[in-house]
Amino acid sequence: MEDKFKKEVEIAQLKKEHEDGVIDLILTSFSGKQKAQLLERYRFANYHNPAQNNIPLGLVAIYNKKIISYRGFIGLPYLAGDEKIKILIPNSTATHPDYQRKGISREINEKSLDIFSDQYIFFLGTSLNKLSFLGKLKQKWRLLAEKDYLYKRQFRISSKLSKNKHIFFEDKVPTEAILSISKASIFSKNHRIRIDLSTKDFVNWVFTNQDYKWAVLSDNKEPIAYCCYTVDGNKSQIIHYDMIYNDNNLAVLLNEISRNNGVKSFMCYCPKTKSLRRKILMNSGFLSTNNAFIRKILGKELLPILIRPTTRDFNSSYFELKGIDSGNNKNWDITALSNF
């Protein structure tokens, strides 16, 4: 950034009073579907998220009393063992066309290292573009895991549930079932760092999407597993699933979802780790799409997930959380709920 211009640009923490300026910036910087998606991200991140006390999280660059750049974050509650922590997901960014390639993003990235460390322990980059990915590497972000989308061709199987088991289909968030299963989740026993779905307000917020559908499996009228998914024609995207124990429950849910919605294939976001979640998916017939052949067909690369402590200066000890190595992806359970 040029010295004179740099001195006149103010980097400030995002506040409610900046809202109109940020929206004007998004409307100016983007068009069509991309503009609509960014506006939706901004509103979703900054309204009603109980994990950040409904306070907007981000930074703006102000020049001549006008917002010329914006970087937004989403705060998410996580658990490291039994300890509650908070992490930040970079989720949206915009710079006015007249001020691009002037080093503003770099200045915003630097400023972000000064203001969030009192409440948030890590930045987690789950959905980075190539430009921001390279910038993060210069800021000493570390590779945590390779991204992946698992695919399954679904063949409907004629099957009967056991006498005491039933599946219920819902269009509204089954909050009580999610809370109940979360307390005894099989993943809480096997993954030491995971999203915290123990509070009603956050559950209702993170699953706010009119396109989400639900299948809940019960045993003796007690919920034991659920799957949140979307349907587009004969294709389905798995958003999240959880279970108390693994008795082929995911395969049962997917078979019934297929039968009920005419679904012929499923996709599920699941990073390349040695997690139990990925193992269950693979054992249920899912295949990785993050390979050279698929990348060549798609013509794009799946950039890895990056992690960095929110403090400016750190060493390897910052990745130790109550004896848990947060730099090792085998200790993480990362799902689409963190993929903003």
Same domain for 134 and 155? no
CATH code: domain of residue 103? 3.40.630.30
Q: Which residues pair with 71 in a beta bridge?
A: 59, 93
CA distance 208 to 173: 8
What Cα–Cα distance (Å) separates residue 171 from each residue in 197, 202, 209, 228, 236? 19, 18, 10, 10, 15
pLDDT digits (tens, 9 = 90+) for 305-337: 999 999 999 999 999 988 899 999 999 999 999
Give ∠ CA 119-122-126 in degrees, rounded to 5: 130
52 plus 160 within the same structural domain: no
Domain, as residue range, for 170: 149-298
Whether pTM > 0.85 for this model: the answer is: yes
- Check whether residue 27 and residue 167 sit in a common domain: no
Per the CB < 8 A criterion, the answer to whether 191 and 277 are in contact is: yes
Residue 157's pLDDT band (boundaries 50, 70, 90)? low
Alpha helices in the chain (DSSP H): 3-8, 19-29, 32-46, 104-115, 130-138, 175-183, 186-190, 200-206, 249-261, 276-283, 292-298
141 within 8 A of 125, measured Cβ to Cβ: yes
Total structural domains within the chain: 2
* Among candidate residues 49, 48, 107, the one with its CA nearest the CA of residue 74: 49
Residues 225 and 327 in one domain: no
Same domain, 333 and 308: yes
pLDDT at 303: 87
pLDDT digits (tens, 9 = 90+) for 96-115: 999 888 888 888 988 898 88
Same domain, 124 and 265: no
Same domain, 212 and 265: yes
Query: Are residues 263 and 321 both part of a single domain?
Result: no
Residues 238 and 163 in one domain: yes
For residues 220 and 319, membership in a common domain is answered with no
The string of pLDDT tens digits covering residues 130-151 is 878 888 898 899 999 999 999 9
